[in-house]
Amino acid sequence: MNSHMKIKRINTHLVSVPIGEDNAWTSSLGKAVKRDALIVEIETDEGPTGIGECYHGSAPLVLEKIVQTVLAPVLVGKNPFDLEFNKQAMFQRCKLLGNTGLVTMAVSGLEIALWDIMGKDLGVPIHKMLGSYREWVPVYVGGLCMGWKPLDELCTEAGRFVDQGFRALKLRVGQGYDKDVACVRKIREVIGPDIRIMLDVNQGYSDAEAMKIIKEYEKDDVFWLEEPVPHDKHDTMVRLRNMSFVNMAAGENSFTLQDFKRVLDSGAVDIIQPDTCKIGGISEMKKVAALAESHQIEVAPHIIGTSVALAAALQLIGSIPNGGMIEWDASPNNLFCDGIITTPYELKNGEIKIPDRPGLGVDLNYDFLNKYKYVDGPCYA
């Protein structure tokens, strides 16, 4: 370990990738027209450069400004191995902003980059530093897949994923009782009984709608129902959990350890879904995983970013005994998966290999970063 290493500079890369009409994805959030990402780099004076990703919360310019003007001055001159000290110093600097939401998103990318530096300097992947538990992780098709579209197109898409060897698919619902029930029932008929079906409502149901429809979802052996109602309605989630064997999943809209403690203590979920790029990074994920383990709850990380975000989540889930499935965006022509890193992931038999090179185990493709500069405007129409 280089005990004299110091952080020299922090760089940010804002990128945008357009979504063509053929691959347009629609859910209760709207119709996706582009995807944005904020990638951060931490350079050191006599060691490696670390990379990370901040979830941008549809405000990438704000996130970049927080990183550049508020947090970067805190880290410059510090030793990257002083991770907890550095993280708390960043939170302290943001105290007047409130240490949640945009702040935890900004801290996340930098914290991930610090782990990347440490792993590279020691010559080991992050999950080995944390105490490795597994080398392969089961995946489910998520991301910008299986959105709202005509039922025949959705069935074709689902069948294609099953033919590719995936054993679990997540559909976007929330179009209303009749459409949602018909959609899930038809997909179950097409893919058969052995493929897991998960449903993401994106907080789109009222309490009454959720109570009514969950009994229909039981008939199609739905594995989990994700954020059926607004994420802070824990009492409703508890009622749904008590009335059905369909697992309740949530967590992508929680930002602090205290948030996750409230969710877990309430008994609202069977599966918790923290996002490494939203909650403060890998070390905070490890804390949430331990908290979930104390409740005998499975961790299935939420991912909506690039392959950098995926690498961070994989390194974490490779180190915990209560890790579940990982989200894989199998949408066609997905440059956030294939374009932004130089070496593709290895998938086999519905599982993904945790990168075993030092640090995060992935390298940025700088040609991609230069080609897809940020384009201002909303991601959803």
Would you say residue 181 has pLDDT above 70? yes
Burial class of 85 by CB neighbour count within 10 A (0 to 12, 13 to 18, 19+): exposed
Q: How far is CA 254 from the centre of its chain?
A: 12
Q: Is the dihedral of CA 313, 318, 320, 326 positive or negative?
A: positive
- Contact assessment for residue 222 and residue 244, using Cβ atoms and an 8 Å cutoff: no
Q: How confident is the model at residue 29 (pLDDT cuts 50, 70, 90)?
A: confident
pLDDT of residue 4: 85
pLDDT of residue 19: 82
Q: Tens digit of pLDDT for each residue in 207-247?
A: 999 999 999 999 999 999 999 999 999 999 999 999 999 99
pLDDT of residue 226: 98
pLDDT of residue 21: 67
pLDDT of residue 28: 72
End-to-end CA distance of the chain: 49
Q: Give percent of the chain above pLDDT 90.
A: 85
pLDDT of residue 380: 77
Q: How confident is the model at residue 103 (pLDDT cuts 50, 70, 90)?
A: very high
Q: Tens digit of pLDDT for each residue in 277-336?
A: 999 999 999 999 999 999 999 999 999 899 999 999 999 999 999 999 999 999 888 888
- Contact assessment for residue 274 and residue 281, using Cβ atoms and an 8 Å cutoff: no
pLDDT of residue 24: 67
Would you say residue 34 has pLDDT above 70? yes
pLDDT of residue 57: 83
pLDDT of residue 260: 97
Q: How confident is the model at residue 73 (pLDDT cuts 50, 70, 90)?
A: very high
Enumerate residues 6+ apart whose C-beta is below 8 A from 216.
181, 184, 185
Q: What one-character DSSP code corresponds to residue 380?
A: B
CA distance 364 to 41: 10
Q: Give percent of the chain above pLDDT 70.
A: 99
Q: How far is CA 121 from the centre of its chain?
A: 26
SS3 of residue 183 by DSSP:
helix
Q: What is the rounded average pLDDT of the residues 16-34?
A: 77
Written as one string, the DSSP assignment of 111-130 is: HHHHHHHHHHHHTSBHHHHH
pLDDT of residue 23: 65
CA distance 155 to 220: 15
CA distance 325 to 273: 10
Q: How confident is the model at residue 254 (pLDDT cuts 50, 70, 90)?
A: very high
Q: How confident is the model at residue 99 (pLDDT cuts 50, 70, 90)?
A: confident
Of the candidates 133, 221, 187, 161, the one whose C-alpha atom is nearest the C-alpha of residue 350 is 161
Strand-pair category, 326-328 with 136-141: parallel
pLDDT of residue 22: 65
CA distance 217 to 150: 20
- Cβ count within 10 A of residue 66: 22
* Site of tokens 């309605």: 233
pTM: 0.96
